[in-house]
Amino acid sequence: MSGPDEKPAVGRRGFIKEAAAGVVGGCCLLVPAAAGLVAWLDPLSRSAGGGAMVKVGRLDGLPADGTPQRVSVVMGRQDAWTREGAVPVGAIYLRRTGDRVVQALHSVCPHAGCFVDYQTARGQFFCPCHDSSFAVDGSINDPHSPSPRGMDTLEVELRGDEVWVRFQNFRTGIEGKVPVA
Amino acid sequence: MKKLISWLDDRTGMNGLLHEVLFERIPGGARWRYVWGSTLSFCFVVQILTGLVLWMAYSPSSATAWESVYYIQNEMTGGWLLRGLHHYTAQAMHVLLVLHLLQVVVDGAYKAPREVNYWFGLVLLFLTLGLGLTGYLLPWDQKGYGATKVATSLAGIVPVVGPSIQKLIVGGSDYGHHTLTRFFALHAGVLPGLMIAAIVAHVALFRKHGITAKQPYRKPDANFWPDQVLMDGVACLAVTGAVLYFTVKHHGAELYAPADATQPFNAARPEWYFLFLFEFLKLHVLTDLFGHHGEFVGAILVPGVVCGVLAVMPFLAKWRLGHRFNLGFLAVLLVSATLLTVRSIRSDADNPGFQAAMAQAQAQSERIGALIRANGGIPPGGAGTLLRDDPATAGPRLFAQHCAGCHRYDGHDGLGMVSKDLPSAPDLKGFGSREWLAGFLEAGQITNHAYYGGTRFREGKMVKYVTTKLPKLHAGKPSALEAMVAAVSAEAGLPGQREKEAKDGAWIEQGRTHVRETFACTDCHAFRKPDEEASAPELTGWGSREWILAITTDPGHARFYGKRNDRMPAFGKEGRLTPKESGLITDWIRGDVAPDRVAASVK
């Protein structure tokens, strides 16, 4: 008889037992692990959609000299289990650049996602986080800017005197302007 | 008692275990330099205790996270103390970790055979940083929200898998409920669980190899109990003292306004122990050398290499000069991090823009507190709904969007932006006040762009009256003009003038006579009684809430400008503004923003 500390010799049957114990034990753990993993990966199966057109203002409310106006974008939003009616979901800058031409710039810094503010005194956009600065049209105007691209423009549509934009977020920190999926 | 203990010991072997824990031998006796590990364990216990109780009061969702933290901080008995202890002990842990790492490296305790234990130490360091990062978001205030956006954006720049990683961390494409639930699960479950496992391994390995005693021994060997335990206890007391000092000084921990993606937060900064990394990313040398890859290099490559070097330090130590290299590396690392931190703090201190943003953030957080107190609590939709219904907050935003195309507020658009265009309608800062009206009635001012300068009325009857007739009428009678101004301004019933007007009752009554007689305003305007023939805007209730709401509804109404209305749109009639929106703008312009009144109007 072998003592408790002595490893019994592993025969063929012994090996099958060991392998079976491993497989059975593994299977037991596999069920909760797989269920957890699938649920945890749920965000990957959801997409942001391509952005919806939303009314953000009127042509005659915009300064004719092209000074940007900060506008909250108010629209419906799904936040996990909550369906929100009309809530502020983000902010954009609107600029009137021609008689019937409007430029819309996203307020999110393309560098790291902070809120880009407009500095009236200097007539430029400035991100307080890492000092990215942008010209009034959203282009990079500082050779040291950490931002990989200028501010993101949004698609604008004029419906009569109403200004509509396609509101969507873009990935930050990369050179290309790629919508958040 | 003795019998009970011996009965228990027979079945558990606890005496032996206790003996092993307490009577660890320390060659050369107890020393202050050995206290760091114990202070860290102590801090971890403090975090578990305070964290569990915070957990009992915290609710992770985007409509309740800030709200529950507000409740802990301001309403719960001792809530601020609990929150402050958790907040500042977390900060103390970061300092103590650096000291512990320094002591371990200086004393050579990371070298063979203790490599694995050293790695467990590094793992604990990163777990602590992870707890700081995830804990930062949980209050869901502007500061935590902004910092988390930056941190998760950095994850997104990792090539190929970055966007998926970011999505899994954030819990979707946008920040919301699932960002909070995921961060909370990490902060209160996953990371502490890993930490307990790592601490157990760390301490077990430490006991296996024994303490790396500092040579030469100054005293005879001693046991852990009681010499070293006493020293450790004193060190923990010092840590507690420091944490309590900051907690009491700041009355708990800071809580900024609720997260809001539509508002800039120019005071955005990471917690101080991440400032060095933050400042590092701002260095021009990164973009100069690596262009657009600077971000990747600064945020991922360089920190990755530094961590790699830290991890292989036990192997480097095997070279002849390895230990010195390690010491030098750590010294350079700490000095650079300190310099970067100092640089960041100093550049913010010298930056008036940042100081103003901090003051504004402070003011916002006080405003929301005042609104909640006046309302007697937070509405089910969250604190954000209070701010959306607050004229002081929402008024200027709506003004910028709907009114600032023509009007100004103190020269700007309500949010501080100044257009180079000249305004085509009056500046509405202080509209209805005595100062506003006195300026309007001054011959030299009425044609300024702050009044009628940009309007069609520049050539109208009122301007003619103010520039030619009025100076003659009040020549030698300045007090009559003042009384008339006070009387018309009293129609507005501005909260800011209420006290003055209560005192000036008789004088204002005289002023009303001047309106009708001395200055003959009633030739064109109706004043305090109906006048079918009035050809100019009604002065009855001029500047009052009702008056402003009515003129924004329809300025072309006979009561106001009639057919001679300039370009002012009928905001209410055309449905450009809801009555609620007009009310918010009106209350803001009138300075009618006292929290209890706002709360009453929301109800």
Contact at CB, A116 and B264, closer than 8 angstroms: yes
Contact at CB, A48 and B170, closer than 8 angstroms: no
Q: Identify each DSSP E strand in chain A by its residue range.
A: 52-58, 69-79, 82-98, 101-106, 117-119, 124-126, 133-134, 153-154, 156-159, 162-167
Instruction: Count CB neighbours of B564 within 10 A.
Output: 14
Contact at CB, B401 and A88, closer than 8 angstroms: no
The answer to whether A132 and A114 have CB atoms below 8 angstroms apart is no
Residue B377 confidence (pLDDT) = 94
Interface check B407 vs A, CB under 8 A: no
The size of the A-B interface in CB pairs under 8 A is 159
Q: Which residue has the tokens 């940007």?
A: A68
The distance of Cα A50 from the centroid of its chain, to the nearest Å, equals 12
Domains of chain B and CATH, by start: 27-267 (1.20.810.10), 269-350 (no CATH), 391-602 (no CATH)
**Chain B residues touching A70 at Cβ < 8 A:** 397, 400, 415, 417
**Chain B residues touching A64 at Cβ < 8 A:** 421
Mean pLDDT, rounded, for B455-463: 94
Contact at CB, A43 and B176, closer than 8 angstroms: no
Residue B522 confidence (pLDDT) = 94
Asked if the bond preceding B139 is cis, omega within 30° of 0, the reply is no
- Nearest-angstrom CA–CA distance, B484 and B505: 13
Report pLDDT digits (tens) over A38-62: 999 999 998 887 788 999 999 988 8
Q: At A159, phi and psi to the nearest 5? A: -115, 95
The answer to whether B552 and B572 have CB atoms below 8 angstroms apart is yes
Mean pLDDT, rounded, for B146-160: 88
Q: Which helix (H) or strand (E) holds B222?
A: strand B222-223
pLDDT band at A1 (very low <50, low <70, confident <90, very high): very low
Q: What is the longest distance spanned by two Cα atoms in chain B?
A: 111
pLDDT band at B29 (very low <50, low <70, confident <90, very high): confident
Nearest CA in chain B to A170: B173
Mutate to test the interface with B, among A54, A71, A129, A168 (most CBs of B within 10 A): A129
The distance of Cα A44 from the centroid of its chain, to the nearest Å, equals 13
Q: At A83, phi and psi to the nearest 5? A: -100, 110
Contact at CB, B150 and A112, closer than 8 angstroms: yes
What sign does the dihedral A127-A132-A134-A139 (CA atoms) show? negative
Residue B299 confidence (pLDDT) = 83
Contact at CB, B405 and A72, closer than 8 angstroms: no
The distance of Cα A41 from the centroid of its chain, to the nearest Å, equals 17
Residue B18 confidence (pLDDT) = 85
pLDDT band at A145 (very low <50, low <70, confident <90, very high): confident
Buried b (16+ CB within 10 A) or exposed e, B439-473: bbbbeeebbbbbbbbbbebbeeebbebbeeebeeb
Mean pLDDT, rounded, for B104-114: 92
Q: When comparing pLDDT for A123 and B177, which is higher?
A: B177
User: Which of A57, A118, A169 lies closest to B174 in CB terms?
Assistant: A169
The answer to whether B531 and B522 have CB atoms below 8 angstroms apart is yes
Closest CA of chain A from B166, distance in Å: 10
Q: What is the CA radius of gyration of chain A?
A: 28
Report pLDDT digits (tens) over B323-371: 999 999 999 999 999 999 999 999 999 888 888 888 888 989 999 999 9
Residue A104 confidence (pLDDT) = 97
Residue A9 confidence (pLDDT) = 65
pLDDT band at A2 (very low <50, low <70, confident <90, very high): very low
DSSP annotation of A179 reads B
User: Which of B171, B397, B402 lies closest to A43 in CB terms?
Assistant: B171
Report pLDDT digits (tens) over B549-603: 999 999 999 999 999 999 899 998 888 888 999 999 999 999 999 998 888 876 6
Residue B470 confidence (pLDDT) = 92
pLDDT band at B264 (very low <50, low <70, confident <90, very high): confident
Q: List the structure tokens of B423.
A: 């305004």
Work out the burial of residue B279: count CB atoms within 10 Å of its CB; fewer than 13 is exposed, 13-18 middle, 19 or more buried: buried
Q: At B362, phi and psi to the nearest 5? A: -60, -45
Closest CA of chain A from B353, distance in Å: 9
Contact at CB, B295 and A117, closer than 8 angstroms: no
pLDDT band at B19 (very low <50, low <70, confident <90, very high): confident
Report pLDDT digits (tens) over B437-447: 999 999 999 99
Could you tell me which residues come within 8 angstroms of residue A110 by beta carbon, excluding any fewer than 6 positions away?
A147, A148, A149, A150, A151, A152, A170, A172, A173, A177
Contact at CB, A116 and B153, closer than 8 angstroms: no
Residue whose C-alpha is closest to residue B333's, from B295, B276, B270, B269: B276
- Nearest-angstrom CA–CA distance, B58 and B45: 19
Q: Is B28 left (phi over 0), alpha (psi -120 to 50) or beta?
A: left
Contact at CB, B146 and A115, closer than 8 angstroms: yes
**Chain A residues touching B171 at Cβ < 8 A:** 43, 80
Nearest CA in chain B to A73: B262
Share in percent of chain A as helix, strand, coil (round to 5): 20, 35, 45
Could you tell me which residues come within 8 angstroms of residue B3 by beta carbon, excluding any fewer than 6 positions away?
none
Q: Which residue has the tokens 């609107």?
A: A94
Mean pLDDT, rounded, for B251-256: 95
Could you give the residue ranges of the DSSP H alpha helices within B267-321? 275-282, 284-290, 294-296, 302-316
